[in-house]
Amino acid sequence: MIKIFGKTDTEFSSNGDKILQPTKCRIHKRDNGEYYAEIECSPEYSEYIQNGNIVVCPTPTGEQPFRFLNPEINKSKIKVKAKHRYYDSENYLIQDSNVVNKNCNQALEHLNAATDNESPFTTVSDVTSINSFRCVRKSLNEAVSTVLERWGGHLVRDNNIIGIRSSIGADNGVTIRYGKNLKEIQKTEDWSNVVTKLMPVGKDGLLLVEIYLYSDTQYELPYTKTVSFTQEIEKAEGETDDAYKFRLQEDLRQQATAYLTANCVPKINYTVKANIERITDIGDTIDVIDETLGISLTTHVIAFEYDAILEKFIQVEFGNSKEKLSNLMSNVSAETSQQITERDQELSVKLSEELSEAADKIWGALGNSYCIYEGNQILVVDKLPKEEATNVMLINSAGIGFSTSGINGAFTSAWTLDGTLNMQAINVINLVADLIKGGTLKLGSNLNEYGQIQIYNEANTLIGKFDKDGVILYGTNGTYLVINPVVGFAGYDSDGNLTFWVSEDEFHMKKSVVEEEITLCNKVRFIPITLYDTDGTTVINDGIGLVSTN
């Protein structure tokens, strides 16, 4: 069903203002690119197809909202393009906001909270690389585009959710074969950025000792380029010139190697017209076989055209072959090393260990997983026969259980059908909950690896935080309150000057206003006293009096 809603509507579960029956409704979507609906219909809908109104259309990922843009109306039909509601982000401006050393999820949250008007979007990302970005006078849409460039990943647009994911799509076993379901295939190649011999240039014209880097891929014709790379690396205090130059050389070599790896092959896109089933979205894996062109490859969807009336794909575009997992892990390792350059050495060691551990787990899982169907349950084990397995996943009508002590051992982690998730360790990117109960919440540490709690008011202004430095509460006028083991309990004015503080058993303050009375040592009280004349109407004295507490 295709439905039309008003300009300011945000809920689309109803039938809207009008159910639209168009003669054409095509959804166009490209990875990290355009996302819009192309609609043609009868002029009878002209009252509803107004610039800015919203049309909700079926897509491969469910119903999605699109906003009408400049409809063309004549006597015979209406033609209109509708951009996904995500592009409303072009109307939310960020004056000046600085993202410093944050992962992608934190960067998106930071920028989304910095718009001139409150953003209607929520953000999420599982990209863990660390980066920085100073956003000055850009729209939220432009800011998200820059985050994509610097942090990497794939833009996911789902109703009012803006996501950046490290990987997208699914492998549903889709094969397109000439003579079976392949109608037409077109191949385009772009060699404009290919380089197999690179002269990298760094800070202040720095060159590598070896001058050139060569890719493993070579062609009959040479592809030689010189490329300048940005190096924001400063000389450390006490560092010798030779040591500083060595660091610059290593950074330049790393950047250049990654560039050479990414550009030693041409960019190749295939556009196919086929009867395609089991495609779900951008990123899906496809096996393409065309003996007449000598094509046999595994790739992924980078763009599609979808008929929202018939609810089927019309055209699918896919790009260069998918990298092998071994290459992917090498690239992840190189990218992580680049991101942690000039960071604390202890943090560097920790990241390296975690990356190695992640790689080992991936390869171990791929090489040692066996699935056993037993009628009333499914077992996934790491060794055969199952009685000798150590790591076991059990699936039955009660839920999913996990054991690290074999099929007869204790299943210490489980996800049951009543919604209970019982785990010893859970890593979550974004968590939304009404009530969280637990034992110990860890924050801080010497690496600040356990993060912090941040508190915001209704205007999305930070009013407090709790991390390795203690508790800080911010006032609306620039004042702030600090509680930690160093200062104890103290208040500061907007210029950072102490206004009150506790020193051992003494309380100090610069100014004090007491509205009623003061009691000293439980012996004497200071109280306000007002004296009147004999008629009780005229004040003859007004001040402070001392009285005993007894």
Fold that domain 92-165 belongs to in CATH: Phage tail protein beta-alpha-beta fold (3.55.50)
- The position carrying tokens 């054991």 is 403
Beta bridge partners of 372: 379
Please give the average per-residue pLDDT across 475-496, as a whole number. Answer: 85
Strand order in the sheet with 518-520: 518-520, 524-532, 539-548
3 state SS of 332:
helix
The CATH H-level superfamily of 174-191+266-322 is: Baseplate protein-like domain - beta roll fold (2.30.300.10)
Please give the average per-residue pLDDT across 374-399, as a whole number. Answer: 83
Note the pLDDT tens digit of each residue in 407-435: 888 777 888 877 777 766 666 666 666 66
CA quadruple 69, 70, 74, 79: dihedral sign: negative
Note the pLDDT tens digit of each residue in 195-214: 999 999 999 899 999 999 99
Strands 54-59 and 62-73: antiparallel
Residue type present at position 268:
I
SS3 string of 343-388?
CCHHHHHHHHHHHHHHHHHHHHHHHCCEEEECCCCEEEECCCCHHH
Please tell me which of 125-139, 353-367, 428-442 the model is most confident about, judged by mean pLDDT.
125-139
Note the pLDDT tens digit of each residue in 119-132: 999 999 999 999 99
Distances (CA, A) of 62 to 49, 53, 145, 312: 22, 20, 24, 13
> What are the sequence ranges of the domains in the chain?
2-87, 92-165, 174-191+266-322, 197-265, 453-509, 518-548
**Residue 442 CB neighbour total at 10 angstroms:** 8
144 compared with 269, residue with greater pLDDT: 144
What pLDDT, on the 0 to 100 scale, is given for residue 466?
84
> Band of the pLDDT at 25, cuts 50, 70, 90?
very high
Beta bridge partners of 213: 198
Distances (CA, A) of 64 to 162, 367, 425: 13, 40, 35
What b-and-e string marks burial along 302-316, b requiring 16 or more CB atoms within 10 Å of the CB?
bbbbbebeeeebebb
What pLDDT, on the 0 to 100 scale, is given for residue 317?
79
> Band of the pLDDT at 360, cuts 50, 70, 90?
low
Note the pLDDT tens digit of each residue in 500-515: 888 878 888 888 888 7
Omega before 385 cis (within 30°)? yes
Beta bridge partners of 547: 525
What pLDDT, on the 0 to 100 scale, is given for residue 359?
53
What pLDDT, on the 0 to 100 scale, is given for residue 450?
59
3 state SS of 508:
strand
d(CA 319, CA 154): 14
- C-beta separation of 310 from 199 below 8 A: no
d(CA 98, CA 100): 6
Note the pLDDT tens digit of each residue in 216-227: 889 888 899 999
- The position carrying tokens 């009013």 is 463
What pLDDT, on the 0 to 100 scale, is given for residue 178?
61
* 318, 271, 276, 81 alpha-carbon torsion, rounded to 10°: 100
248 compared with 427, residue with greater pLDDT: 248
Distances (CA, A) of 407 to 27, 261, 392: 48, 45, 6
Please give the average per-residue pLDDT across 340-357, as a whole number. Answer: 47
Q: What are φ and ψ of residue 53, in 5° steps?
A: -65, 160
Note the pLDDT tens digit of each residue in 68-93: 999 999 989 999 999 999 999 999 99
What pLDDT, on the 0 to 100 scale, is given for residue 91?
96
What pLDDT, on the 0 to 100 scale, is given for residue 440?
67
Spatial neighbors of 121 by CB under 8 A, at least 6 apart, are 86, 89, 112, 140, 160, 161, 162
Token pair, residue 504, equals 């051992």
